[in-house]
Chains A and B, each alone.
Chain A
């Protein structure tokens, strides 16, 4: 493996981040680091929505996708990435201070973090969460730097059949890792793939499932589906059960952890980073699973497992490191293979496609400044978050005073404007409303919308690769089994499916999710 070009690549990324743009403010020409600015904006917005329960990174990224149209591709992706890891930092703040996990990934942080806050040790908990996240973020970013070039090289040798099988494997992994019913996850993926087929078939020019509606000939926009499912549907569901948030004002004093805290946190942070980095790469994994897994590992390894839930700093440091590491490494399959591993990465791909960039291994060669700029920005963003997060805690907590009844109205409006700004078609707002209702139905039925979104993105791609593979093999479907890579992917997928269908494994999986 040749890493000789790494320094120059990183330098390219760094210079892409520090691109200077001259902006006229009040008649004066001012130079600003435009991409650093967007990175900061993304990180701050991410922290803000991370703090707010009921507003997740997926919905926010969907809301901001149309706006990124006005930025450069670098600025757009740097900001979108910032939202995701920013949300991991923000989620822990409210979890610790007021026992309200802002994100699903910080649910376990609330257990011991809030217990520490009650003991008057909110400061060390917050500091340790931030330091752990930063360490994990740094390691995970290094992993991306090291893993991306070889993986991209490998991906460039993929034949269409390999790609098809890889996507099958990705979808199967997403099903295996999804919490909840397997059958429902299957159904959601098939449904998403079917929705992805709506519109004109690029190969033959025939239209499919358009019902003669002209605005459907180009297919359903990804943003429309995402905003409906993650924006509108969430508002409906959250408005239905508005819970009062009582602001328990706990004084944050003595921010710095003690030597003892550091000693106890080092190992959990390391373990959390490793665990998170691994789980983040797998499709369907990501931050939520990583934090849960890390918590149960720390509890198992601890000498005093009974004390967990009463303010053990290990229970904060481990999961917080794990969720941030996973948030970073989940970029690896997206950046190198062009395959989204979760709903957030689906958003990133949506952001790329808005700027006319086809995701895949060619991005690294064709747009090196974008590729490396984004990676470098992640580390810079993590550093900014570490510096900014702790002093700004007061502001984040105040933000919780904005009641959800107002937030809901604002989110609905932003969804509408966002969709309208894409093509200035009011019919697309109607489609979004439709997907909102559909999304709410799925919430009521206990179906997760994330697999649907993955299917929606991957379905049309799989069709393209399947057709290419069949054309190359002169109509022989065995091509998927004859190429070694393709065969390996399919075999792993089949094995995984077999495993989850076997009843005893299924039971173990269920208990693992309950922990």
Chain B
């Protein structure tokens, strides 16, 4: 038995796995009555549908030829995901400016094409523009500077 379509095989595996997981997690959700269907009815139906679809895809991947999954581009995947996560972890305490610089730099590492001088200028423009837009114009409750730095900056300005 040889797998003729990597994409179909992987999708089938993924769907079936999610279906089994959903079935397992949702096993103790109450089913209710026919007149008042409970919490567990649709999850159970969907779990079966997912397992069925996944299974059919697995069978299909053996019989009909299709595209392989191909190579993964780890660099942009890691850089963009990490940049997003880092932005999330910084925004509450370190404010917009610091989060932007760190997150955008990590994201820019995702491609070999980044030219750093150009990137620096662009980042500066982006910081000014997004401060003007989000904090000044729209008045979003986002801090511009790190929480711990704010009293320090205020002293400097006094």
> Which residues of A are interface residues toward B (Cβ below 8 A)?
67, 70, 181, 183-184, 186-187, 190-191, 193-194, 197, 201, 203-204, 206, 208-209, 232, 235-237, 239-242, 403, 405-406, 408-410, 412-413, 415-417, 420-421, 424, 426-430, 432-433, 436-437, 440-441, 444-447, 459, 462-463, 466-467, 470-471, 474-477
Contacts and interface: CB of A to CB of B under 8 A. Distances in A.
A235 B80 CA distance: 8
B39 interface: yes
Interface of B: 7-8, 10-11, 14-15, 18-19, 22, 25-26, 29-30, 32-39, 42-43, 46-47, 49-50, 53-54, 56-57, 60, 66-67, 69-70, 72-73, 75-77, 80-81, 83-85, 87-89, 91-92, 96, 100, 103-104, 107-108, 110-111, 113-115, 118-119, 122-123, 126, 130, 134, 138, 140-142
A406 B119 contact: yes
Question: DSSP majority for the A interface?
Answer: helix
A186 B75 CA distance: 31
Contact of B81 (A70, A413, A436): A436
B37 to A, nearest CB: 6
B134 A239 contact: no
Contacts of A408: 80, 107, 110-111
Contacts of A474: 35
Most buried by A among B37, B57, B72, B134: B37
Contacts of B141: 424
Question: DSSP majority for the B interface?
Answer: helix
Contact of A236 (B19, B76, B118): B76
A434 to B, nearest CB: 9
A146 B84 CA distance: 46
A408 B32 CA distance: 48
B124 to A, nearest CB: 12
A416 B66 CA distance: 36
Contacts of B15: 187, 190-191
Contacts of B83: 412
A34 to B, nearest CB: 15
A470 B37 contact: yes
B80 A190 contact: no
